[in-house]
């Protein structure tokens, strides 16, 4: 199984959301269906960045690192360098 760390961007206010999952398509649908209290307020969401990991542990470590940055410039640089 592969795990994905992702960054979503709100099309409503351009804010970012970081998470991890084993199925990005299903997770994006979840965020855009209003089932998550936080993300329901800022729908719709689009995937702007993702990274794949072989283990859940590695994905969780990366997700934690990205969330700790809390720096829009850092996220935008990461997204830009990925394209």
CB distance 18 to 63 below 8 Å: yes
pTM value? 0.95
Report the chain's mean pLDDT, rounded to a whole number.
96
Return the CATH superfamily for domain 3-82: GIY-YIG endonuclease (3.40.1440.10)
* pLDDT tens for each residue of 38-61: 899 999 999 999 999 999 999 999
Q: Is 59 exposed, middle or buried (0-12, 13-18, 19+ CB in 10 A)?
A: buried
Q: How far is CA 7 from the centre of its chain?
A: 3
CB distance 61 to 67 below 8 Å: no
Q: What is the SS3 assignment for 42?
A: coil
- Domain boundary assignment for the chain: 3-82
Q: What is the CA radius of gyration of the chain?
A: 12
């Amino acid at each position: 199984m592969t795990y994905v760390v992702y960054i979503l961007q709100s099309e409503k206010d351009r804010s970012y959301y970081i998470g991890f999952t084993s199925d990005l398509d299903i997770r994006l649908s979840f965020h855009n269906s209003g089932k998550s209290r936080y993300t329901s307020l800022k729908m719709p969401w689009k995937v702007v960045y993702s990274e794949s990991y072989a283990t859940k542990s590695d994905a969780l470590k990366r997700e934690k690192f990205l969330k700790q940055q809390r720096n829009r410039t850092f996220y935008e640089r990461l997204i830009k360098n990925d394209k």
